[in-house]
Amino acid sequence: MPKYNCCSSHSYRIAHRDDALAQPPRAMERARETLDTAHDIAKLLDTGLDRESLAVLIALIEHGINPEALAAVVRELRRESAALRDGAAA
């Protein structure tokens, strides 16, 4: 199993690509369909998550990260980002 560096999206993409290459074509198609469905739901719920962000979050959950803790981190990052934007605008 490849090691993921949570601080490097480049490392994640390389490891994720290697995992994807090892999957049979039908499994890749099902994974793509699942991500499409999850992205459609995310848009309907107005989560503000783009497809790539959603894919990273799903991968983290699949690798054992607690979904509630992950959601709390996303909310906190959004709050901090908004505060930085507001501070820069002032």
Number of neighbours of residue 38 by Cβ within 10 angstroms: 16
Give the C-alpha separation, 44 to 84, whole Å.
27
Q: Is residue 3 part of a domain?
A: no
Domain that residue 76 falls in: 9-89
Supply the Cα-derived Rg of the chain in whole angstroms: 15
Q: Please tell me the total count of domains within the chain.
A: 1
Region 13-24: what's the mean pLDDT?
Answer: 58
Domain membership of residue 1 (yes or no) is no
pLDDT of residue 70: 96
Helices (H) then strands (E): counts for the chain: 4, 0
Residue 23, domain member (yes or no): yes
Q: How far apart, in whole angstroms, are the C-alpha atoms of residue 28 and residue 21?
A: 9
Q: Is residue 43 part of a domain?
A: yes
Range with the lowest mean pLDDT among 6-10, 27-31, 43-47?
A: 6-10
DSSP-derived letter for residue 6 is T
Q: Does residue 75 belong to any structural domain of this protein?
A: yes
- Domain assignment of residue 2, yes or no: no
- The tens digit of pLDDT for each residue in 59-73 reads 999 999 999 999 999
Residue 47 located in a structural domain: yes
- Judge whether 4 lies within some domain: no
DSSP states along 40-60: HHHHHTT----HHHHHHHHHH
